[in-house]
Amino acid sequence: MSALTPRPGIMKIAPYVPGKDSVDGKEPIAKLSSNEGALGPSPKAMAAYAKAAADLHRYPDGASEKLRKAIGRHYGLDPERIICGAGSDEILNLLVRSYCGPGDELLYSQYGFLMYPINALGVGATPVAAPENDYRSDVDAMIAKITDKTRVVCLANPNNPTGSYVTKDDVRKLQKALPKNVLLVIDAAYAEYVSKNDYESGVELVDQFENVVMTRTFSKIYGMGGLRLGWMYGPAGIVDVISRLRQPFNVNLAAQLAGIAALEDIAHTDASRTNNDIWLPWLAAELTKLGLKPLPSVGNFVSVGFGSKERAAAANDWMMKDGLIPRMIAGYGMPEFLRITVGTEKEVKLVQDSLARFVAQNK
Ligand SMILES: Cc1ncc(COP(=O)(O)O)c(C=O)c1O
């Protein structure tokens, strides 16, 4: 009898390595490795979470109905066309499992979110990366990579880890070039942070076309990564498909209640956005003054070029010694960069101070 063997593709997966959360086993002064939302969760979400404790013996509402209605009200969307998940990661995985299989291709942009190729390999499909232009997704390059095997195209907009975004005209151009049997997944995890006139999150395209979905998360601006809550908005046909495959109780009770409360706390969300609007440009400008190369970002993080992988690794060690945790992104093919989440005023100033001392000693 032959030995136990996993399905094809799985052993090609390099396991996803999350951002570090401690320095030599100790609590960091600032964890800036996972883009978690500088201000943390809303006090209202925390209160809803605490209140859920008495009901932990109850199964959650399997359809997340109240939460879907709250998302629908907040974003002006039809709740019937929303599906909630255990993080947008779960939804991204369900979409790939539903529409991609052995022999198919999943297309994404060179520095796109790592879960896209991982999900493709997990179903035995081939991940195909289109080259980027100056760390920006290049829709023409993506279109050039479409073949008759392409089944799913994943576009993070804005993208992690580069922080760049694709204009609405370019996303439309990409959609237009796709055959009708190819799904376009617009992963808008950082949409709430963007205030550019030529950006749209994907809602408009979902409303217009049968082969486009948009995914969103509570892990970033809502500061609830620990609870695992995300959602997608899609055409009725795709919502029906995903509803068949998803686990019946995929979103836990506390996440549903805290998610509703977080949406209601507009002041907290506004404060989180304002924090980013102030400290992202400040940090980028300060790092530029130090001679470093921050990529232009519209997310709640910035990827900073150090000129070489050795210097980036040295800067990582230096920051860690100061109790600050950035993210090394060699796994994305960007070993000469560190990605740094935009934290609070105190945190970004510590980053500036740490890197100023680093640069002074490591010209
Ligand atoms: C572009 C992008 N998409 C999706 C996710 C997954 O978010 P979550 O599963 O926490 O909703 C992340 C998290 O870092 C991300 O950066």
Question: Is the entire prediction scored with pTM above 0.95?
Answer: yes
Tell me the CA–centroid distance for residue 59 and ligand 1, in Å. 26
pLDDT of residue 2: 81
pLDDT of residue 26: 79
Task: Mean pLDDT check: name the lowest of 6-15, 250-259, 285-294, 317-326.
Answer: 6-15
What is the C-alpha to C-alpha distance for residues 230 and 245, in angstroms, rounded to an integer? 16
Assess whether pLDDT exceeds 90 at residue 28.
Answer: no
- 110 Cβ below 6 A of ligand 1: no
* Nearest Cα residue to 243 out of 85, 352, 40: 85
- Relative to beta strand 30-31, strand 324-325 is parallel
What is the C-alpha to C-alpha distance for residues 225 and 19, in angstroms, rounded to an integer? 12
Q: What is the DSSP string of 212-280?
A: EEEEEESSSTT--GGG--EEEE--HHHHHHHHHHS-TT-S-HHHHHHHHHHHH-HHHHHHHHHHHHHHH
- 36 Cβ below 6 A of ligand 1: no
Assess whether pLDDT exceeds 80 at residue 363.
Answer: no
- 217 Cβ below 6 A of ligand 1: yes
Assess whether pLDDT exceeds 90 at residue 151.
Answer: yes
Give the whole-number percent of the chain exceeding pLDDT 90. Answer: 94
- 109 Cβ below 6 A of ligand 1: no
Tell me the CA–centroid distance for residue 124 and ligand 1, in Å. 22
Contacts 24+ apart (CB under 8 A), 115-120: 115/16, 115/89, 116/92, 116/154, 118/13, 118/14, 118/16, 119/92, 119/93, 120/9, 120/96, 120/152
Average pLDDT in the 84-113 region?
Answer: 98
pLDDT tens per residue across span 161-209 = 999 999 999 999 999 999 999 999 999 999 999 999 999 999 999 999 9
Average pLDDT in the 258-262 region?
Answer: 98
- 160 Cβ below 6 A of ligand 1: yes
pLDDT tens per residue across span 36-72 = 999 999 999 999 999 999 999 999 999 999 999 999 9
Tell me the CA–centroid distance for residue 52 and ligand 1, in Å. 25
What is the C-alpha to C-alpha distance for residues 161 and 267, in angstroms, rounded to an integer? 28
Average pLDDT in the 310-317 region?
Answer: 97
* CA-closest residue to ligand 1 atom 2: 189
3-state helix, strand, coil in the chain (%, to 5): 45, 15, 40
N- to C-terminal Cα separation, the chain: 61
Q: How many CA atoms lie within 13 A of 149 on its CB side?
A: 14
The pair of structure tokens assigned to 165 is: 């975004």
Probe ligand 1: pick from 160, 185, 218, 224, max atoms within 8 Å of CB?
160
- 156 Cβ below 6 A of ligand 1: yes
pLDDT of residue 22: 83
Phi, psi dihedral angles at 158 (to 5 degrees): -70, 160
> What CA–CA distances, in Å, run from 270 to 163, 221, 273, 276, 362?
20, 9, 5, 10, 38
Assess whether pLDDT exceeds 80 at residue 1.
Answer: no
What is the C-alpha to C-alpha distance for residues 137 and 160, in angstroms, rounded to an integer? 11
Total Cβ atoms within 10 A of residue 180: 8
What is the C-alpha to C-alpha distance for residues 237 and 158, in angstroms, rounded to an integer? 26
105-109 sheet: strands from edge to edge: 82-85, 230-233, 212-217, 183-187, 150-156, 105-109, 126-130
Angle between helices 253-264 and 266-289 (to 10 degrees): 80
Tell me the CA–centroid distance for residue 92 and ligand 1, in Å. 9
- 89 Cβ below 6 A of ligand 1: yes
Q: What is the DSSP string of 83-98?
A: EEESHHHHHHHHHHHH
Average pLDDT in the 98-117 region?
Answer: 97
pLDDT of residue 21: 83
> What CA–CA distances, in Å, run from 280 to 87, 103, 120, 213, 287?
25, 42, 33, 29, 11
The pair of structure tokens assigned to 35 is: 């883009």
> What CA–CA distances, in Å, run from 360 to 34, 62, 357?
27, 56, 5
- 275 Cβ below 6 A of ligand 1: no
- 113 Cβ below 6 A of ligand 1: yes
User: Residue 338's Cα: distance from chain center in Å?
Assistant: 17
Beta bridge partners of 327: 339
Assess whether pLDDT exceeds 90 at residue 362.
Answer: no
Average pLDDT in the 227-253 region?
Answer: 98
The pair of structure tokens assigned to 271 is: 């404060």
pLDDT of residue 27: 84
- 87 Cβ below 6 A of ligand 1: yes
